[in-house]
Amino acid sequence: MMQTLRNPKVLKMGLWVILVLTIPSFVLFYGFGGSDSPSGGSMGPKTAYVTVQADSGKVEIGAQELKAAREELTNEYLRLYMGVTGQQPTQRVVLQIQNGLTNKQIAEYAVSRVAFSELAEKSDLLVTNEQVSRMLREQGVTAEQLNAFLKSQGMREIDYLRQERFRLRTQRMESLIGSLAKTSLLELWLQYKLENDRLRVAYAKVPVSNYLDEVEVTDTEVQEYYEANLDRFVKPEERVYRYVLQEAPPLPDKEYEVTEERVQELYDAIDPQQDPRFFEEPGRTVRHIMVKPAEGESADEAMARAEELRRRIVEDGENFAVLANQESQDEEARAGGLVKGRVREETKDEFVALYGPAWYDAATYYNVDDISNVLESEGNYYILKIDAESDGKLPLDRARPILEGMIRSELRAADEIEQREQMQALQIKMQQEAASRTSIDGIARALGSEVRETSPTLATRYSLPGIGDLSSHRETIDDLEEGDIGPVMMATGTNNLVILQLAEIIPERNFSLGEVHDDAAEAVRRQKATERAREVADDLAERVRSGDSITSAALELNLAARETEEPFGRMERPADLRMVQEFPNVTLRGDVGDVFVAQSGFGDFVDSWVAFEILSKQEPEKSAFLKDMQQLELGMTNAKQMMFVDEFRKDSLETMKAEFDEDYIKQDQGRRSRRSGG
């Protein structure tokens, strides 16, 4: 196995399988799970879910081992995700990976951990309790924290130490196996070329729509298509619910009055150290105009220039900030001459170093809105304006919008409390009536309401028009059998209260041909047009292979041909070719002069066929390769290591005898059914 993996062609193929296929399949998969059971499903307590016949004897894998395997497998795919994307996973990605794992995958991973442990024992690779304790101390875990964790998990210390010894020993064995991975210079260069070659292509699209009107469709073809694709003409299972609805009393639609007294009272009570919304850096905000003596200019002349600027502000009324933008020579200041930072005792040394002691003295002497006299400091001349002064608390005029929002929230909260109390009383009344009545009609009469009806499909049964989102009551709704009346449920978002009766389950069925004849005929028409477009694209490609250019061949077939505007990487897609699904695979293996035909569209829907030819290829510079080689080697070696470890796991599953609990594995199918239905 290891010799096979060292083959460069096999390795490159495997590397792309990991980078391109494995991660998307887990990241894009979204299922259910996430409970405290080993897999995220609901299993009762059991001694062993998997039994492994290892060399050292029978090994039983229980809930704790499966839970640990689930966490490790999740972390492994998260590391792979980060290696591929170069990004930290979001919470959504974490959940998608966790929920995408099946019980069978988790169980097989746990079996491979046993294999690693067996190999570690044969290699005399041992981990002691003292080593585990030292690791915890190095991580900063205290005895109190460990005890609290063990209590929350319902574990004994001896069981935790055994689990950690097993985990560390397995990790070290994985590292030893992974260390066998080496990457040659040739492999690195081939991979670098693969990622950095620049191509130019000529292409012509053959739209399927060109042939929709020219193809003919017969009734026989429609009949044959319908019979061959019955699974496309399925009316999903329906659930007929009869229900009683009590809508939540609306909140008052009013403008809440905010008094000045309440604003001031709330502002006075604010501690900006506790509420960062009201904190601002304490000290003085200062604007200045700096005049530097020009080369050959005397001090008196520079002083006179500064005095003239001050006169224009004080006597002519020119705007200080505008004049600072035009005349100030301090490149460090912000727009309008605004000095960076706040002037206060703690920042004295900083401002003295920047502008000199005379500047600092003036900045602390004048009052807010004062315009200073022209002062000389460190050979430059300054005019200062004190914009504002803060004690660290946002001024009332700037804090007012936040305070008014807080007051309105307080007033609205009182109405919300009243609404909740009304809903609680209504809920109790509905529960009492539901308990004492035997029919949904009787419940409705007792509540002075009416019975309504809705018929969602199996997939939409948690979101009912006019009621709201009932997804928080999934289990209750799923447990209803035909004729059952459910408990009082509250819809998320609307707060409506509802009692459902599952009146009827209408099984999934096929639509008759008469019901879907037009849809089937249109599908046949598009299928035939797609085939015709493919024939034209193949004809175009064959002409190019015979020596024609794509431009001339396309012109003969009344098609438009184009070239990519600029070279692109093998792993990229030019904007106009993003919907060509096979484009990356074609360009990865193609060379100059190669001609291909590929479909363009989304999923199974083909909107056109594209014939294109690789016109030129520009290889990356060797100097750039040598510069990037170290990082590339790290990435490829890591990928190889993961492949080596993964192959060992696969081998261990084939060589070790493992028996899996059938009920535990069957939960996978149950979750898949709920996903397809919900």
CA-wise closest residue to 471 among 455, 484, 451, 490: 490
Q: Are 611 and 203 in contact (CB under 8 A)?
A: yes
pLDDT in tens, 455-489: 998 888 888 888 889 989 999 999 999 999 999 99
Which tops the pLDDT comparison, 550 or 151? 550
> Dihedral sign, CA of 227, 230, 235, 239?
positive
At 46, is the pLDDT very low, low, confident or very high (cuts 50, 70, 90)?
Answer: low
pLDDT of residue 116: 72
| Best-predicted range by mean pLDDT (111-125, 203-217, 249-263, 586-600) | 203-217
3-state helix, strand, coil in the chain (%, to 5): 55, 15, 30
For the ranges 48-57, 289-298, 330-339, the lowest mean pLDDT is seen at 48-57
Q: What is the mean pLDDT of residues 324-333?
A: 90
CA-wise closest residue to 677 among 457, 455, 491: 457
CA-wise closest residue to 117 among 65, 159, 181, 47: 65
For 117, the token pair is 């442990």
Which tops the pLDDT comparison, 449 or 169? 449
At 169, is the pLDDT very low, low, confident or very high (cuts 50, 70, 90)?
Answer: low
Q: What are the residue ranges of helices labelled H in 546-661?
A: 550-556, 583-589, 622-655
pLDDT in tens, 414-449: 888 888 888 888 999 999 988 888 899 999 999 999
Which tops the pLDDT comparison, 286 or 36? 286
Strand partners, 613: 202, 595
Q: Are 54 and 118 in contact (CB under 8 A)?
A: yes
Q: What is the mean pLDDT of residues 592-606?
A: 89
At 497, is the pLDDT very low, low, confident or very high (cuts 50, 70, 90)?
Answer: very high
Separation between Cα atoms, residue 537 and residue 211, nearest integer Å: 13
Q: Are 248 and 494 in contact (CB under 8 A)?
A: yes
CA distances from 25 to 20, 28, 30, 408 (A): 9, 6, 10, 48
For 524, the token pair is 């046949």
Q: How many CB atoms lie within 10 A of CB 429?
A: 15
Strands (E), 391-434: none
At 367, is the pLDDT very low, low, confident or very high (cuts 50, 70, 90)?
Answer: very high
The per-residue pLDDT of the chain, averaged, comes to 81
Separation between Cα atoms, residue 628 and residue 189, nearest integer Å: 10
Which tops the pLDDT comparison, 634 or 351? 351
CA-wise closest residue to 348 among 371, 364, 333: 364
Q: What is the mean pLDDT of residues 289-297?
A: 92
pLDDT of residue 40: 42
Q: What is the mean pLDDT of residues 523-529?
A: 94
